[in-house]
Structure 1
């Protein structure tokens, strides 16, 4: 969400930012909507002033026993009341139209974000770790899981449909171990506070983090008009909605390990194999609420927290900065972390860390007070995966497989899993 005053102050710069996001120029349309709203407000104020003046004049006319003047003024006040009611309705409609137009536009990218229409314009920042070398053809995770008898996509499809997976035995426990390890790492070493948030949210929560109204088809809605969370970013960021925080409370860093639900409406035919793109998955989410002065550094810090998970697991990965056409609607800059998957022979996303500036804060009414006598300002919000648990399981399975189909458990996970290897069925 944007401040219309900022659009009015720099319409050319605003349109240039929209162009970078592959959106049509919008500044003049927004200014026209605001002009219409302002005209109604001016007319409404003038009518209220006349009504107040006429109401006072009625008393004077009656005191002077000028019944004809009093009657004329009473009729004038009645007319003004009706006009005021109409203009109040018109002002609400004009304000709603302006807000809807502002809410439909994506965030403005930072100057250092590479410009481009899609992922082809993304820029690699660094690679960490060396992909393992195998003396055999590394298998996909679903091949491994099905051969172990611990992953069943077919049965999940019978129960729930496509894009679901059933894990059993040691694979199910390894997935749980990964999530617990991530939360312990972020709370114990990175200063995040663990939260157990609602998995169902109202419209306002999704609007606040910019999933609504534009991306309604990507969400699952319940019969009582709530929404299943697509990510814990939604409830975690909304913890500060309609609040004025003290500066001393920032940065606020919270994490949650939750199921997430996405309809994947725009991904028909993509990543249908295995566990890469599911309707239901588990993710460890990181959210930071900061001041404008510290948000750039916070994004670097948060990215480092996500990277620490992959380093501890001994997984090779790369970090890229997404282009203006590939990053999310609410982001000003996004770093993607992509983990190496030997089965596919490529890097795949396992975490996205986004700086949203005050874009979400304006939609939520989330502010802070810089000093005792300072007026409130909007906070900056950031969110990131720390990391996606299902994809981490995929990465561990594929990177730690051996020729006979067994899977070695990374050392850091052994205390959580209770075993150091998943053995194939020799029978």
Structure 2
């Protein structure tokens, strides 16, 4: 959520930057500034009434002690009238505050100046790409056929027991999945991240804190009885650990990692691009979360991107790096890098990680602040990245390492799997 002070001071610049998202922010910004003006005006009136009411309360006792009954009763009547006015103004201030917050929730984050203009993922900027890609071989199969051939994943059984997008991992498929999770967690630990096992469900405040609500409400699984949401990513509980927290500068950097299953309704997703492991309703992911001093967050974004690239290199997967254009940028992000892995079985690029800097957008919702050297309170910056999401990593590992007589396991995973070939 953008800070209201920032909107007041940089109205035109914010409207211009939001155009990079193809978002016409001018009408909404005007509504926000009007609601802010109404809130501040009512708040000032309320403060004046309170001050006058407190002054009269002090006078009443003095007037009674001086025997001035008439004046005292007049003051009591005026005080009672002010109490009624105070009640009306309190409701008015609360109403304008609620209106202002609801309007602010509708404004996406302001893109970083480096975000390119564009309408869709087809206009994302490719920053680096492999010099060569594997040459297609006649025996190559897509991962869903490999999974069936070697009895690794059962998609049909998932449909029977739950529905589409909830596969069963079996035998060496399950062990390979677990090996990837442990490998990613150990790598994160060695890079200085603290491992957390968080809850897999969160309350509404947590959803608002990181920006899944109200923007992605329809994409989350919701238990209406207890008003809890299944998490779409570990980002939500990990970042919300610091909701309503006041940090000190010496607390930075804060580096967290966590493995969780993730749950997404993926409403409206149909077609060949969602086949097999390409898009699931339940999937496993290891997430990185950083809470940083504003001066360091963009250096940290580059560091996190390089770290995830390093994981892909260790797995031997051909990848490319993209800077998302305004039309493909997430609602809460100021700048996002996507990493995509080439799938030889499908002859296409598959996104496997998004690494984002949210600047103060989440921190403002979370009231996540720190005291600087002058003892002033500032909003921290939050970042997160997939390191990594399992489905498409597993899919490309199966496809890219297939031979005519099996699937080779990357060397770094053998200590985790206990086997080097399927």
Name the TM-score, length of structure 1 as normaliser. Answer: 0.95
**Alpha-carbon distance, 1:18 to partner:** 2.4
Q: How does 1:370-389 map to 2 (within 5 A)?
A: 370-371=372-373, 373-389=374-390
Which residue number in structure 2 is paired with residue 232 of structure 1? 234
Q: Distance in 2 between matches of 1:270 and 1:58?
A: 79
* Contiguous gaps of at least 5 residues in structure 1: 423-427
**Structure 2: any 5+ residue segments left out of the alignment?**
none
Report the equivalent of 1:425: none
Q: CA deviation at 1:353?
A: 0.2
How far apart are 1:19 and its partner, in Å? 2.2
Q: Deviations over 1:132-168 (max 9, x none)?
A: 2343142110011112222211111010011111111
In structure 2, what is the Cα distance between the partners aligned to 1:231 and 1:55?
54
Query: CA 1:149 to 1:304, structure 2 compared with 1: closer, same or farther past 3 Å?
Result: same
SS in 1 for 2:64: helix
Q: Which residue of 1 aligns with 2:279?
A: 277
For structure 1, which segment, 316-325 or 233-242, has the greater mean C-alpha deviation from structure 2 after superposition?
Answer: 233-242
- What is the CA–CA distance in structure 2 between the aligned matches of 1:137 and 1:320, rounded to whole Å? 30
How far, CA to CA, are the matches of 2:282 and 2:136 in structure 1? 32
- Give me the whole-angstrom Cα distance separating, in 2, the residues matched to 1:272 and 1:164: 12
Corresponding residue of 2:8: 8
Do the aligned partners of 2:153 and 2:170 also contact (CA within 8 Å) in 1?
Answer: yes
1:10-409 matched pairs, under 5 angstroms:
10-24=10-24, 25=26, 26-128=28-130, 130-188=132-190, 190-222=191-223, 223-269=225-271, 271-371=273-373, 373-404=374-405, 406-409=406-409
Contact 2:20 2:115 in 1 (8 A): no
CA deviation string 1:376-416 (max 9, x = no partner): 21111100000111211101000001124x21111111111
1:306-334 per-residue CA deviation (whole Å, 9 max, x = no partner) reads 11111001010000000011011110000
Q: Distance in 2 between matches of 1:89 and 1:268?
A: 47
Provide closer, same or farther for how the CA distance between residues 390 and 129 of structure 1 changes in structure 2, counting only shifts above 3 A. Answer: farther
Flag as ranges the 4+ runs of structure 1 deviating above 4 A.
none
Q: Determine if contact 1:218/1:266 at 8 Å carries over to the other structure.
A: no
Report how many residues are paired: 419
Query: In structure 2, how many angstroms separate the alpha carbons of the residues matched to 1:397 and 1:44?
Result: 66
Q: How many Å separate the matches in 1 of 2:69 and 2:420?
A: 98
SS in 1 for 2:114: coil
SS of the equivalent of 1:161 reads coil
CA distance in 1, matches of 2:47, 2:13: 32
